[in-house]
Amino acid sequence: MSAQQKAIPWGSRSVDLFEKIEQIGEGTYGKVYLARNKETQEQVALKKIRMDNEKEGFPITAIREIKILKELRHENVVQLKEIVTSKATKENKGEASIYMVFEYMDHDLTGLMLNDGQWMPTAAHIKCYMKQLLQGLHYCHSNNVLHRDIKGSNLLISNRGQLKLADFGLARPFTEQLGHYTNRVITLWYRPPELLLGAVQYGPAIDMWSVGCILAELLTKRAIFPGKNEIDQLDLIFKLCGTPNEDVWPDVGKLPWWKTFKPSKVYKRCIRETFKHFSPDALDLIDKLLTLDPKKRITASEALDSEYFWTNPLPCDPADIPEFPTSHEFQAKKRKQQMHMTGDALKRQRGPGGAPMSVPNPPSQPKYPNQQNNYYNNNQPPYSGRNPPSSGPLKGPPSAPMSTGRMPAPPPSNYQGRSQPPPPSNSRPPLPRDYRSSAPNHQQK
């Protein structure tokens, strides 16, 4: 932290210090803008904290995010620089606001992936991103913080190839003695089977499942478990990872919703066949990340030690990754929507049977891998080893552990009434309606 930043008490400055340039994000809890510091010209991201949903003052998710991010300092965790405020005026209809000021990052991973094949990371690039993701998570887990919402739109990427974990709105501290936490966390497609089966005692392994989904998604360019609801999600997981039994997951029978959701059909694990075109080391790591039993799932530090990161092509240096036009999920989707609308308008002008459009289609709902065999066969990222390997050992555990006081629970009410199907996108995990009665979430954090 610079001397100047240290001297500024958080919340003491006005948002007027910044000039908003454009909106780059729209989440469940507020808008995010690219802005410029009028004094220093530095670009920042301003995350406006939404107050309009709140009956009870300042939103608990924002308190949690600020409290956790204030303590975390790592090159793979986004830096919260300051909090600024705006006073109630006529222009803002008497609404005072609070903003988090972050270092600005050019992309998020979902935004890049939505770029219709123009973004073509090599195997060395993917390893470089994965290494940074795991380093950031290793840091969080070593400091007793669970992220609880790892997915593409929460992984920010700079034009210098750096990847940083962002959106700590669902994060919470954990203790080694298992706690009693809510299972309504992690966006559905990235949610591990133990949470879908009602676990309320869990640890860092929940984030590692999401990492497995991300790695497979980077290699296939599709979400691998695009479930429509919780039951469908479990079904997709079991089809690929096998139906759990006491041998592979001894504690599965103790999970609250196992009896209810136990599939009638027994599936054999087929990760290796489905992803047989991945490199053996990538396949091995995905297999270990997508392990059903959270106790057997690989940890972030074990993953960083895996062969995948130590065999050719080695992860490249971040600086070797080429620049790409700015791409955030919000803008990428808006662009696609506009193109789609333009396409529709032109079609209407031309009438039925008009000339074919050159406008790309909106992203189609990804399909289950087994229905996409050709895709897996034909769209592997080039394992070319073209980039010079990055040198030097992996960074060790963080040197300055944070203090982790207990923080308030996420308010489950925030998830209520969110409509299905849940997002591939930025929105928060929806409340599993069917589960509401069986989960006394007000005691869970």
Instruction: Give the tokens for residue 328.
Output: 């955030």
The DSSP secondary-structure symbol of 262 reads: -
167 binds Mg ion, rule: CB under 5 A: yes
Is 284 an active-site residue? no
102 binds ligand ADP, rule: CB under 6 A: yes
Which of 60, 114, 157, 166 contacts ligand ADP by CB under 6 A? 166
Distance of CA 130 to the CA centre of its chain: 13
The DSSP secondary-structure symbol of 112 reads: H
320 binds ligand ADP, rule: CB under 6 A: no
Residue matched to tokens 């073509």: 120
135 binds Mg ion, rule: CB under 5 A: no
Say if residue 335 is exposed, middle or buried (CB neighbours under 10 Å; 0-12, 13-18, 19+): middle
105 binds ligand ADP, rule: CB under 6 A: yes
**Catalytic one of 149, 167, 207, 235:** 149
Q: Nearest residue by C-beta to ligand ADP?
A: 27
Q: CB of residue 78 vs ligand ADP: minimum separation in angstroms?
A: 5
CA distance 158 to 76: 11
Report yes or no: 396 and 64 within 8 Å, Cβ to Cβ: no
Report yes or no: 77 and 84 within 8 Å, Cβ to Cβ: no
Q: What is the contact mask toward Mg ion in residues 421 to 440, using x (rule: CB under 5 A)?
A: -----x--------------
**Packing angle, helices 123-142 and 205-220, rounded to 10:** 170
Residue 102 contact partner, candidates Mg ion, ligand ADP, none, CB within 5 to 8 A by sort of partner? ligand ADP
Residue 202 contact partner, candidates ligand ADP, Mg ion, none, CB within 5 to 8 A by sort of partner? none
172 binds ligand ADP, rule: CB under 6 A: no
Nearest to 21 by CA among 326, 426, 365, 404: 326
Q: Interface residues for ligand ADP in 326-345 (CB under 6 A)?
A: 328-330
292 binds ligand ADP, rule: CB under 6 A: no
CA distance 121 to 398: 28
Residue 47 contact partner, candidates ligand ADP, Mg ion, none, CB within 5 to 8 A by sort of partner? ligand ADP
Residue 108 contact partner, candidates Mg ion, ligand ADP, none, CB within 5 to 8 A by sort of partner? ligand ADP
181 binds ligand ADP, rule: CB under 6 A: no
154 binds Mg ion, rule: CB under 5 A: yes
Nearest to 413 by CA among 425, 431, 429, 428: 431
Report yes or no: 55 and 46 within 8 Å, Cβ to Cβ: no
CA distance 144 to 402: 8
32 binds ligand ADP, rule: CB under 6 A: yes
Which of 10, 20, 28, 262 contacts ligand ADP by CB under 6 A? 28
One-letter amino acid identity for 103?
E
Q: What is the binding site for ligand ADP (CB under 6 A)?
A: 24-25, 27-30, 32, 45, 47, 78, 102-105, 108, 153-154, 156, 166-167, 169, 328-330, 426
* Residues near Mg ion, by CB under 5 A: 27, 154, 167, 426
Task: List active site positions.
Answer: 149
